[in-house]
Amino acid sequence: MCGIIGYIGKKNALSAVIEGLSKLEYRGYDSAGVAYQYNSNFKICKEKGRVIDLKKSLTDSHSNLAIGHTRWATHGEPSQKNAHPHCSFHQRFILVHNGIIENYQKLKFEYLNTYSFISETDTEIIADLIEYFSNTLQVEDAIRKTMSVIEGSYACLILDTLHQDRMYFIKDKSPLLLGKDEEGISFASDITGLLGYATEYMPLDDKTFGVVIQDKIELYDMIGISKEQIFKEISIQEEEINKKTFDHFMLKEIYEQPMMIRNLIRKYFKGEEVILSKKLLHLLRQCDKVNFVACGSSMYASYFAKYYFEKLCGIPCEVFCASELVYSTPLISKRPFFIFFSQSGETADLIAVMKKIKRQNYPVLTITNTMESSMVRLSDYALDICAGKEIAVASTKAYTAMVVTSAILARAVSGNKTNLKNNLKAVSLAMEKVLENKEVCKGIAREIVDAQDLFYIGRGIDYWTSLEASLKLKEIAYIHTEAFSSGELKHGPIALITKNTPVIAIITQEGTNRITRSNLEETASRGAHTYVISSKGLSLPKDDIIIPNVAHYLSALVSTVVVQLIAYYAAVFKQNDIDKPKNLAKSVTVE
């Protein structure tokens, strides 16, 4: 949530910040702002709305030092007043912040009772506290003192009007990357924000404090001990974050799924063998339970991981919703193993659970699309899902990549010689077939686009796909959609069926084909407008979408492409902002 950018150097800092903010806009997009040095002064420009609106209102075009912010509102409505950067009461300090200060009301009362506040944000008090403490302390100490009293999460870039040649930064729990090239130093909430302005980067640790003075970086821990600076080369290319000829990133990412599968095969298979860390495989083989922890689509992907581990490895598994697990204390087995799924690797709910688990010394693996993320740094092991950068807020290729990666991992743990590699190749071809027939999905999208409510149903594997299908329609088409295990309908939800309610059944499993069809029939008898997505081997001539046959345990990968396309086209018909749906953000860095 929220993206921050900073640049100090020889290139144009205003361009660096505006370009960076456009790349980070997926993190939040209800307002945006910049602060920059101009003629020995700092200027602030902020706007409600998108980065493009901000760009239009900028009166200057050049600076060598600037910070910027794109916001996902947590405290205070989206407005110009609440947009960042925020200034301290006496206008000395200016800052941008990603995160939440949980004790900001208490701190106002404790230290700032003579101050008045312009915004409704929790952020403004950080600038005020630094100013307040700097009445008696050096700026560096005032910032450290502020870090010691604020509770919550933060990544901040701070400007001091009395020392205009420098940029301070602090970080705890929210992500912040430091980048550099020969011409300057930059900051961003994720690596894409650095592209074009840095060739090397360094993810900052929690409780880091530092300052950049012209081209010199100083990095300290909370008590002022200097920290080592270890930079890595940036390997991601600009073209990876380019929409190319597609209308939306979401559509491009849907189309990248067959390639993603081939990449995963190349990455993990050597001949017929899966090559993974021996120690990781050993730990997984000797554990007595695998606990999967995730949120949203990633949690739905982990239902498949549970299925693969139980079927192939015979290890009992449980799926936990991270935001629930963080506040509960389930019974933990004697030799547990924890696997976290996260596209971004920055989800606050997951990081909170992971820290709790790590305190108990349980082994942790993160399966992610962001190998430079906070979660990877906290974990004992990490596996790359190799999906390539996912820009659209609604996850598509990262979700299917998690399903594939978990099948590969389970195959390696089991030592079982299933024909997974060839079966996956068949899946990538089947996905391509679905994409060739996208007009059929578009046709269904057109029919359901005005529905008030819609239901996806299925059993087992098809039920988990229904959960993801329903989330996609909610997220981007704003249609109230629920997923039900088809057997559960008669226990309550069938009461919701009225004339023409669309009910879409997913049928890819032989064992549940007939019974799901009967359940669908029961909704039709009550007026529902029914649709069937079925695998070829189980299909009836009247079915609406027939997908190619693949190994039954991988069929969801193919049916998922269908439901992604239905959601995508429904959103196109509604003329929604598909890549940046309302109220959402790609990286959920607040609990």
Candidate list 82, 186, 298, 428; residue touching ligand M6R; CB under 6 A: 298
- Least Å distance between CB 567 and ligand M6R? 10
Candidate list 65, 204, 265, 295; residue touching ligand M6R; CB under 6 A: 295
- Least Å distance between CB 525 and ligand M6R? 34
- Answer whether 20's CB lies under 8 Å from 186's CB: yes
Q: Does the protein bind ligand M6R through residue 189 (CB under 6 A)?
A: no
Q: Which is nearer to ligand M6R, 94 or 177 (CB)?
A: 177
- Least Å distance between CB 289 and ligand M6R? 22
- Least Å distance between CB 282 and ligand M6R? 27
Using alpha carbons only, give the angle 483, 484, 489 rounded to the nearest 5 degrees: 140
Smallest CA-to-CA distance from 580 within 190, 96, 249 is with: 249
Q: Which is nearer to ligand M6R, 146 or 298 (CB)?
A: 298
Task: Pick the stretch among 222-230, 391-399, 405-413, 519-527 that binds ligand M6R (CB under 6 A).
Answer: 391-399
Residues in the chain: 591
- Least Å distance between CB 417 and ligand M6R? 31
The tokens of 442 are what? 């578009």
Q: Which 3 state secondary structure label does DSSP give 274? A: strand
Distance in angstroms (rounded) separating the CA atoms of residues 225 and 63? 32
Smallest CA-to-CA distance from 348 within 86, 1, 582 is with: 1
Q: Does the protein bind ligand M6R through residue 530 (CB under 6 A)?
A: no
- Answer whether 464's CB lies under 8 Å from 406's CB: no
Candidate list 64, 208, 263, 347; residue touching ligand M6R; CB under 6 A: 347
- Least Å distance between CB 393 and ligand M6R? 5
Q: Does the protein bind ligand M6R through residue 388 (CB under 6 A)?
A: no
Q: Does the protein bind ligand M6R through residue 203 (CB under 6 A)?
A: no
Q: Does the protein bind ligand M6R through residue 175 (CB under 6 A)?
A: no
Distance in angstroms (rounded) separating the CA atoms of residues 93 and 186? 19
Q: Does the protein bind ligand M6R through residue 126 (CB under 6 A)?
A: no
Candidate list 192, 297, 302, 523; residue touching ligand M6R; CB under 6 A: 297
Q: Does the protein bind ligand M6R through residue 343 (CB under 6 A)?
A: yes
Smallest CA-to-CA distance from 301 within 369, 251, 376, 363 is with: 369
Q: Does the protein bind ligand M6R through residue 394 (CB under 6 A)?
A: yes
Q: Does the protein bind ligand M6R through residue 296 (CB under 6 A)?
A: yes
Distance in angstroms (rounded) separating the CA atoms of residues 568 and 9? 41
HSE, side-chain direction, 13 A CA sphere, residue 262: 10
Task: Pick the stretch among 138-146, 235-243, 293-301, 482-490 that binds ligand M6R (CB under 6 A).
Answer: 293-301
The tokens of 170 are what? 């602090």
Q: Does the protein bind ligand M6R through residue 256 (CB under 6 A)?
A: no
Q: Does the protein bind ligand M6R through residue 395 (CB under 6 A)?
A: yes
Burial class (CB in 10 A: 0-12, 13-18, 19+), 205: middle
Please give the C-alpha separations between residue 442 and each of 446, 529, 573, 585, in angstroms, as whole numbers.
6, 17, 9, 26
Q: Does the protein bind ligand M6R through residue 393 (CB under 6 A)?
A: yes
Task: Pick the stretch among 36-44, 89-97, 295-303, 406-414 that binds ligand M6R (CB under 6 A).
Answer: 295-303
- Answer whether 183's CB lies under 8 Å from 172's CB: no
In the complex, residue closest to ligand M6R by CB: 296
- Least Å distance between CB 342 and ligand M6R? 3
Distance in angstroms (rounded) separating the CA atoms of residues 365 and 409? 11
The count of residues interacting with ligand M6R (CB under 6 A) is: 15
Q: Which is nearer to ligand M6R, 523 or 560 (CB)?
A: 560
Q: Does the protein bind ligand M6R through residue 342 (CB under 6 A)?
A: yes
Task: Pick the stretch among 342-350, 453-461, 486-494, 500-508 that binds ligand M6R (CB under 6 A).
Answer: 342-350
Task: Pick the stretch among 45-53, 200-208, 285-293, 341-349 that binds ligand M6R (CB under 6 A).
Answer: 341-349
Rg (CA), the chain: 25
Q: Does the protein bind ligand M6R through residue 253 (CB under 6 A)?
A: no
Write out the DSSP string of 86-117.
Answer: EE-TTS-EEEEEEEEETTHHHHHHHH-TT---
The tokens of 368 are what? 């992610």
Q: Which is nearer to ligand M6R, 119 or 342 (CB)?
A: 342
Is 2 an annotated catalytic residue?
yes
**Chain-centre distance for alpha carbon 16:** 23
Catalytic pick from 173, 389, 474, 586? 586
Smallest CA-to-CA distance from 502 within 540, 542, 446 is with: 446
Q: Which 3 state secondary structure label does DSSP give 337? A: strand
Q: Does the protein bind ligand M6R through residue 263 (CB under 6 A)?
A: no
Burial class (CB in 10 A: 0-12, 13-18, 19+), 464: buried
Candidate list 31, 257, 323, 344; residue touching ligand M6R; CB under 6 A: 344
Is 586 an annotated catalytic residue?
yes
- Least Å distance between CB 399 and ligand M6R? 7
The tokens of 474 are what? 């909610």
Q: Where in 462-501 is the site for ligand M6R (CB under 6 A)?
A: 471, 475
Exposure string (b/e) for 98-111, b if CB count within 10 Å is 16 or more? bbbbeebeebbeeb
Task: Pick the stretch among 107-115, 280-288, 294-302, 530-538 that binds ligand M6R (CB under 6 A).
Answer: 294-302
Distance in angstroms (rounded) separating the CA atoms of residues 250 and 476? 10
Q: Does the protein bind ligand M6R through residue 588 (CB under 6 A)?
A: yes
Q: Does the protein bind ligand M6R through residue 174 (CB under 6 A)?
A: no
Residue 300 — φ and ψ, nearest 5°?
A: -65, -35
Smallest CA-to-CA distance from 111 within 139, 88, 93, 94 is with: 88
Distance in angstroms (rounded) separating the CA atoms of residues 224 and 241? 38
- Least Å distance between CB 377 and ligand M6R? 15
Residues lying near ligand M6R in the complex (CB under 6 A): 295-298, 342-344, 347, 350, 393-395, 471, 475, 588
* Residues tagged active-site: 2, 586
